[in-house]
Structure 1
Amino acid sequence: MRDWKKIILWSVIAVFAFLAGDVSRYFFYPDVAGLAKNRPGKTAFMEYREDTWKAKGIRRKISTSWVPLLQVSPYLIKAVIIAEDDKFWSHEGFDFDAMQKALEKDIKKKKFKAGGSTISQQLAKNLYLTPAKNPVRKIKEAILTWRIERQLSKKRIMELYLNVAEWGDGLFGVGTAARKYYGKSAGALGAREAATLAA
């Protein structure tokens, strides 16, 4: 009986040690600072989308394009902030009020669906993580968000987010979305088009 208890104890310790190691590496990797000047390559979400299609036997490639922030319609930037993160310019990566409300909903529904994520958190997830909703992934996301906010300007964070976010099935970046849905550049979007795209 004691042997089984020891086995269980060491198994639990091993699991926690593995999780701690897996999570702690995000304090150093990947190279977030490099994003200040360099565009990201294929993101984790892009790879996830391609893997999903492949698993379903769908032969398709993602569509992506890059648009500098100065060439994005100010209507779209404002619409995204209103829809996703109205405290974006003032917070340091986390909106604790929104997180508390999301947590209260999770507790009431007895499900972990998370929510209340800021644009910075969504950027961290899109770049490096997966859509999986679990506490371990949220911890990784928090570490990456903290690093992103420390090493990148708000304008750069917004530029990155607009260009790596998925705006439809396999459509990554506002440039791709604007062309697909409205046949125009991201800079030519009007207020109504921007609001619809950001909704």
Structure 2
Amino acid sequence: MKMKLASCLIAALAFSNAHAASVQNTTGIVSPATTITFDEVVLADSSLVTTEYSGLGVTFSSLYYNSQGPATFPGISGNYVGNNASGPLLNPFSIFFSSDVTSAAFGVATNPALSTFEAWNGGLFVESFSASTSFDGSTDYYFGFTGITFDEIRVSVGGDGQMLIDNLQVTAVPEPETYAMLLAGLGLLGFMARRRKESAV
């Protein structure tokens, strides 16, 4: 019985990692734990954004705040950040998560370009993909990763190098207590099944 339970747990963990995928769609990730809209902390227009959103579990390199109000691009609404403002164009840029995450995606608007998205964890490369990006909804406009563990997304923008991002969706790695509860629940199910089997004899 213990061997079967261990085999099932190993298979479940292997199955969960086997579904690593890029996010390239018009909605982002399914059921994000957090969505950062950049309305939570309002900054002066064209301010360099670094640690202002650390209370929400995310920091940035090479992005500026834009407080011009609602944008007319799919995936971008209200305040947003971008890599071009009154200062120099900052390309590539990174989004850093304060703890490991398993899914993250964000709305994107660019002039038509081929952009590259990379997932990193602890300074080590994990996965990447390149995709066509635009501002008019002619391409997918949410991009990111799901089904892998990472703590940074690095973006290199093609074309003129400019990108706006908004509605950053995040799902963190479950805490160890969650796995402990899962194992306890599986153990309880195994115990109940064994008890039923013994009472039926």
- TM beyond 0.5: no
Bigger proportion of residues as strand: 2
Q: Select the structure of larger CA radius of gyration.
A: 2
As a proportion of its length, which structure holds more helix? 1
Higher relative contact order by CA 8 Å / sep ≥ 6: 1 or 2?
1
